[in-house]
Chains A and B, each alone.
Chain A
């Protein structure tokens, strides 16, 4: 999954000569928390956050309060790399560039929605959380067993386990009876941590 699939475009921008007050009213109207700043030729020259603006004077020029060293990504950056950059730099939005031109913006909120998708949070099914021994082919046996009992995996994700010898797997399965599912996973040596839904 790449940035291009989930970014907002075209981005709403502001020019450096605009005032803090103008920028705040755009943010309020568009329900956004950041504005990329562009020059007359639409080159990206900075970015301002709602917080930068709230700390400034209403008639200050944007170019005075913006952050000039903007961290950007491209359309082909992996979504999790964009997420990692945001987490590492403690920022919540990234302008998206193509050949030096601003083409979009991706925010923490966009990524948040993907997180929900990843866990199948809005889909129906039995949701199992298990500790799975860290060994090659274990996910293959797990998914094969589910398929063999007629279950359909609507979401599957892996997390860090309690220690390096295991990992946590969350799987949401449709069309399979809960008790049978649990029994089969236990037979495979999985430790069932949580069961719900279904």
Chain B
């Protein structure tokens, strides 16, 4: 499978799975419960099957280990965003978007200092 076709495949599968989880989150009440689906492993589910076939189990293992760092960063990111939205009068889009570098920094930091350097 060429890289282009693989990327296209990932795009379609990823789009469908992410949208499906978003719809589930939309229809569930209360919102604190529905929010759980905002952190569903949608990108991972879309990717892992294809990665196992294309690159093997060892590759998936390495990705999953890094994903734990990403999930920890997600926890810190979502907690901070929640606190800012509740306390201050900033629009949700700005808070959620401007905090994304925090996710990147924490995920990168954990990856470098815990997974690579240790």
A, B co-complexed: no
Listed in ascending order, the chain B residues whose CB lies under 8 Å from chain A are none
